[in-house]
Structure 1
Amino acid sequence: MIISKKPLLEFTKKGIYCAEADVFLDPWKPVDKAIITHGHSDHSRWGHKQYITHHTNIPIIKHRLGDIKVIGKKYGEIFVINNVKFSFHPAGHIIGSSQIRVEHKGEVWVFTGDYKIEDDGVSVPFEPIKCNTFITECTFGLPAFKWIPQKEVFENINQWWVENKDEGKTSILFGYSLGKAQRLLKNLNPEIGKIYTHGAIENMTNVIRPMIDFPETTLITKETKKEELLGNIVLAPPSTHGGTWIRKMVPYVTASASGWMTFRGARRRRAIDKGFVLSDHCDWDGLLTAVKETGATKIISTHGYTEIFSKYLREIGYDARTEKTQYEGELAEMESKKESEVVE
C-alpha cells in the first residue's frame, strides 16, 4: 500500500495552510494564526487572532485593520513554529512586502505573495530564494505584458505634467493609495510644480514617511480652490475617477499608471486620457526569470493568467499546476468607496 505524502502547504477554503505548524499564509478567512506577506487588502484581511509579518508592514496593516495583535520579523530572521522554519524575504512589490520561506525536514517551499523583480527605489528589491516548490502569482502572466524600465516611464510622466502645465491644466494621476502612489510620488519632479494628494493617499503616505524620503505633498481639502491646482499634479485613487471630488478640478487631464495600460482598450474603458504602463507585479519575462532563479522543479500558479502560464511552464519542463485563491492582484489594490471618500 502506497501512502501519499502530505504536502507541506495545502490550499484550503480558508487559505494556504501549513498543517505541521497549524498556521495559514495570507488567509482570506479568519484564522487563529496568520503569516502575512504585505498590506494590500486581498493578502492582509481583518479578523485573524494573531498576525506575523515583516516589521515595516506593521504600521501599514494597523492603519488599515486597526488594533490587531501582530508580531514583526526582519528579513532573513528564522522563526520556528512546531518544528517548521519560517522566514521573510524581500518581494519588491511594495514597502514591507515579503515572500515567505517554509522549511520542514529538508523540504523548502516559497510563497511569493505579490512581487516584481525590478528595483523601484521604494521597496526592498526582490531576492530569489532557492526552494523545491515555488508558489507564484501571475497577475500579468501573458507574453503581451512586457514592462519598460521605470526610469523611462517617469521621464514620460514628468514630461506629460510639463505639457499639461503649459496648457494651464491640472494633471490628475491615478494610483493605488498603498504602493503605487508612493512609487509615483518618489519619482515625480517637484521642480515642475506642487504635488497635491487625495486624503486616502496622504494618510497612507504619512504612515510610510518615517521609512522613506518623499517630496512634499499638499492635501486637498474642501477649502482647496481649483485655481490653486492649475499647472500642478494631483495623486488620487482610481476609485475617485468620475466622482464629484474630481469634477471640481476642471480643466484637468487624467492619467493612470498600471500594468493594464498595456492595452489601449483598458484606457478607453476607464475613460482615461493617458496611460502609463507601470506595475508593481512581474511581467511575463520577470515571472520566468523568478521561476528559473529559485531552482524549483514544482511551480504552483495562483492569481492571474494561471492556466496559460502553467501550460507554458509544463512545455519547458516544469512540474507546474494551478490553484484557486481569493487573491486578486492589481484589482484588489483598488481603494474601497469608504477610503476614496476621505475628503469628499
Structure 2
Amino acid sequence: MGDMVVVRKEGLYCVPGDFYIDPWRPVDRAVITHAHGDHARWGHKHYLASNQSVNILKSRLGADINIDGLAYGDRIVHNGVAVSLHPAGHVLGSAQVRMEYEGEIWVASGDYKVEPDATCAPFEAVRCHTFITESTFGLPIYRWDPQQEVYDDINAWWRRNADEGRTSVLYAYAFGKAQRILSGLDTSIGPIVCHGAVEPLNRVYREGGVELPPTRLVSETGKDEMKRALVLAPPSAAGSTWTRRFGDYSDAFASGWMLLRGARRRRGVDRGFVLSDHADWPGLLSAIEATGAHQVVVTHGSIPVMVRWLCQIGLDAKAFDTEYGDEDDEATGSAAPEEGESHKGAADKAEAKDA
C-alpha cells in the first residue's frame, strides 16, 4: 500500500477511507482535529469531531452544520479504515486522528502541546507507524517556562496596575488561550472583564465541565471597578475604539511568539507573556519519540529544520505542504464581534478589512 494520507488541493486526504483531515476547501467528509479557524472551515457536507468540539464548531461555523461527535478512544470504521480520536492537549476538544487500515497505523496530530492544563484533556501519545506532526515552534530556541510561572507573572503585572488604578488589557486568542489564562488568574486582585468575542466561548467551556472564574462584560462593570480590572480581548481588538474607552491602561500580549526579540515591539504592547498552546522544541521531540513512529511527516511551522533533525536522528522524515498557520481571530481573516455587535456586523467588518 502507498501512503495512507496524501496532500490534495482540498487538504490532507485519507486514501482508503475517502475522507479529509482539517481540509481547507469544501469536501464531502471532513474529520476536524479542533475548532481553530485554520483547521475548521465552513462548507463541508459532513463533519466528524470529538464530542467536546461539537458545540464549539456549531458556535463558530453555524448551528446547522451536519456534524457527528465521537468520544475520545471510541472507534468507527469507514471504508475499512478504523478511525479514533485521542486528546491533543491543545484546546478544549482538540484531537489527534488515529487511522488503521490493513495493519498500518497513521496518526495526524493536528495542533498539540504536551504540558497539561486545566482547560482541556492532556495530550495522549498514540503508538503508530507514521506520525503527522505540526511544527509551529519547531526550532531549538523555543523552550517554554512552566505555565504556573507565567500565570504568576501575569498576576503580578495585573496587581501592580490595579494598585496604580490602571486597567490591565491582555490580548489572547479568544478560543483556547483566553480560557487557559482565565484558569490561572488570581480573582482576589479585581474583576475579570471579557470582550464580546471571548465570553461566548467561556460559556461553551463551562458547559463542557471546565471550571473558570466569574467573568463579565464591560457594560456590566462600573468605571471605578475597571481601574482594578483585567480585560481579556482578542488581538483584533488592539487599537480599536472598544479598547480606547479604558483611558489609562496597560496592555500585554500572551503568545509563544513573545519569546522572540522584537515581537512585543511589533505588537506595540507594554508586556509580552510567553504562553503557547503548541508544543515547544523539547515537547515536539518527546511527543514524536513516544509514538514509536518510524516515519514522520511534518506540516506547518519550521518544517525544514524539523525534517533535517529527524533525519539526522535516524527517522524517515518528510514534509506536507499545508495551509495551516495562524489559528484565530484576525489571523484567519475573520473579525471578532464586539460587545453588543452581531456576527453579521463582524462579518461586514471582515469583508471591509479584506478589501
Q: What does residue 173 of structure 2 align with?
A: 176
Pairwise CA distance, 1:6: 2.1
Aligned equivalents of 2:76, 2:184: Cα separation in 1: 36
Aligned equivalents of 2:66, 2:313: Cα separation in 1: 44
Please state whether the residue corresponding to 1:291 is helix, strand or coil: helix
Check if 1:60 corresponds to 2:60.
no
Q: What does residue 108 of structure 1 align with?
A: 105
Please state whether the residue corresponding to 2:298 is helix, strand or coil: strand
Amino acid corresponding to residue 251 of structure 2 in structure 1: T
Q: What does residue 12 of structure 1 align with?
A: 8
Pairwise CA distance, 1:188: 0.7
Match of 2:134 among 133, 137, 142: 137
Check if 1:165 corresponds to 2:154.
no
Contact 2:154 2:273 in 1 (8 A): yes
Contact 1:21 1:83 in 2 (8 A): yes
Match of 1:252 among 218, 230, 249: 249
Q: What does residue 301 of structure 1 align with?
A: 298
Aligned equivalents of 1:113, 1:214: Cα separation in 2: 25
Aligned equivalents of 1:71, 1:263: Cα separation in 2: 40
Q: TM-score, normalised by structure 2?
A: 0.92
Match of 1:241 among 208, 230, 238: 238
Check if 1:282 corresponds to 2:279.
yes
Pairwise CA distance, 1:332: 2.2
Aligned equivalents of 2:129, 2:204: Cα separation in 1: 37
Q: Residue 224 and residue 162 in structure 1: after superposition, are their counterparts in 2 closer, same or farther (change >3 A)? A: closer
Return 5+ residue gaps in structure 2 as ranges.
342-355
Amino acid corresponding to residue 31 of structure 1 in structure 2: V
**Residue deviations 1:175-214 (CA, integer Å, cap 9, x gap):** 1110001001111111111000100001111122112111
Residue correspondence of structure 1 range 298-337 to structure 2 within 5 A = 298-328=295-325, 331-335=326-330, 336=333
Match of 2:227 among 222, 226, 230: 230
Q: What does residue 211 of structure 2 align with?
A: 213
Check if 1:40 corresponds to 2:36.
yes
Aligned equivalents of 2:340, 2:255: Cα separation in 1: 24
Contact 2:31 2:49 in 1 (8 A): yes
How many pairs align?
Answer: 337
Aligned equivalents of 1:287, 1:228: Cα separation in 2: 42
Please state whether the residue corresponding to 2:160 is helix, strand or coil: helix
Contact 1:226 1:250 in 2 (8 A): no
Aligned equivalents of 1:323, 1:19: Cα separation in 2: 15
Residue correspondence of structure 1 range 85-96 to structure 2 within 5 A = 85-96=82-93
Amino acid corresponding to residue 18 of structure 1 in structure 2: C
Please state whether the residue corresponding to 1:332 is helix, strand or coil: coil
Answer with 198-207 or 225-234: which moved more: 225-234
Q: TM-score, normalised by structure 1?
A: 0.95
Please state whether the residue corresponding to 1:288 is helix, strand or coil: helix
Contact 1:165 1:232 in 2 (8 A): yes
Pairwise CA distance, 1:167: 1.2
Contact 2:169 2:231 in 1 (8 A): yes
**Residue deviations 1:240-264 (CA, integer Å, cap 9, x gap):** 0111111111110011110000013
Pairwise CA distance, 1:341: 3.3
Contact 2:217 2:339 in 1 (8 A): no
Return 5+ residue gaps in structure 1 as ranges.
none
Tell me the C-alpha RMSD between the 2 structures: 1.3
Pairwise CA distance, 1:227: 3.7
Contact 2:47 2:68 in 1 (8 A): yes
Aligned equivalents of 1:41, 1:337: Cα separation in 2: 9
Q: Residue 34 and residue 287 in structure 1: after superposition, are their counterparts in 2 closer, same or farther (change >3 A)? A: same
Check if 1:149 corresponds to 2:140.
no
Contact 1:240 1:340 in 2 (8 A): no
Give the % identical residues. Answer: 49
Contact 2:195 2:338 in 1 (8 A): no
